[in-house]
Amino acid sequence: MKKILFVQHGDVDKPGLLADACSAVGIGLDIRHPYLGEKIPSDLAGYSALALGGGGQSAYQVAEFPYLEGECELVRKAISADKPVLGLCLGAQLIARALGAEVFRAEQKELGFFPVTMSAAAAGDPLLSTLPRLFFPAHWHGDVFAIPTGAECMASSALTPNQAFRHGRATYAFQFHLEMTPPLFEELVDDAADDLQACGADPRALKKEATRVLPALQNAAVEFFKTWARLG
């Protein structure tokens, strides 16, 4: 059975719909937790693909979180071996950094549900064409990335011009949380209650919005993840 390595960066930063998609197509998901001290493999022998999840770390905090450098090296090894790579929020920033692009603080945090517009290039992409031209995913980030050399921007929002990119055949990076489900978003909100209060966000309103908008994206997201997982 094919197996994908998923690197999780926090207790609430779970694979969500990616796990559902992998299960549906009979592909295993080996989840590693380096923030708890678990080692991540030094190579991808035995894995068909690499996926990096979100998290509260910043991609450039390699001194505080040395395992992030190891993840960047895994990204480069996967791309060199033509294995699929997927990045979600922090994971996308790590892919960008691994490919030599800058990751930096945004002028304003993007937290909640805001419209994302897919690019004309995305409409012709065999995987991204399953997603709506305009949709409302979950956003939860204070950092952003530049588009790496050789990659192509695939989506944007009002606050974040670079919301997604594709590099090569099978490397996809999303600043937004395509994997998110309403229950998983509730966990994220509960975990960040103090931070939300500090920035004036209403946890109850966010949970209600998650229940309203996320189900509309679920089928398209799962189809994307299924197709990506089969590329390995």
What is the residue range of 101's domain?
3-230
Contact predicate 210/218, CB 8 Å: no
Q: Which two tokens stand for residue 162?
A: 């670079």
Q: Report the CATH number at residue 143.
A: 3.40.50.880
| pLDDT for 140 | 95
Q: Per-residue pLDDT tens for 145-192?
A: 999 999 999 999 999 999 999 999 999 999 999 999 999 999 999 998
Angle at CA of residue 207, ends 220 and 35, nearest 5°: 80
Contact predicate 98/146, CB 8 Å: no
| pLDDT for 69 | 98
How far is the first Cα of the chain from the last one, in angstroms, to the nearest whole number? Answer: 12
| pLDDT for 87 | 99
Q: Per-residue pLDDT tens for 82-98?
A: 999 999 999 999 999 99
Lowest mean pLDDT among 15-24, 82-91, 196-205: 196-205
Q: Which two tokens stand for residue 57?
A: 């770390």
| pLDDT for 162 | 98
Nearest to 75, CA basis, from 142, 151, 23, 127: 151
Q: Rounded to an integer, what is the distance from CA 143 to the centroid of its chain?
A: 13
**Structural domain tally of the chain?**
1
Distance CA 141, CA 136 (A): 15
Which one of 9, 22, 89, 139 is the catalytic residue?
89
Nearest to 88, CA basis, from 183, 17, 186: 17
Q: What is the mean pLDDT of the chain?
A: 96
Nearest to 137, CA basis, from 172, 176, 90, 181: 176
For residue 89, indicate whether it is catalytic: yes
Which one of 9, 22, 141, 179 is the catalytic residue?
179
For residue 9, indicate whether it is catalytic: no
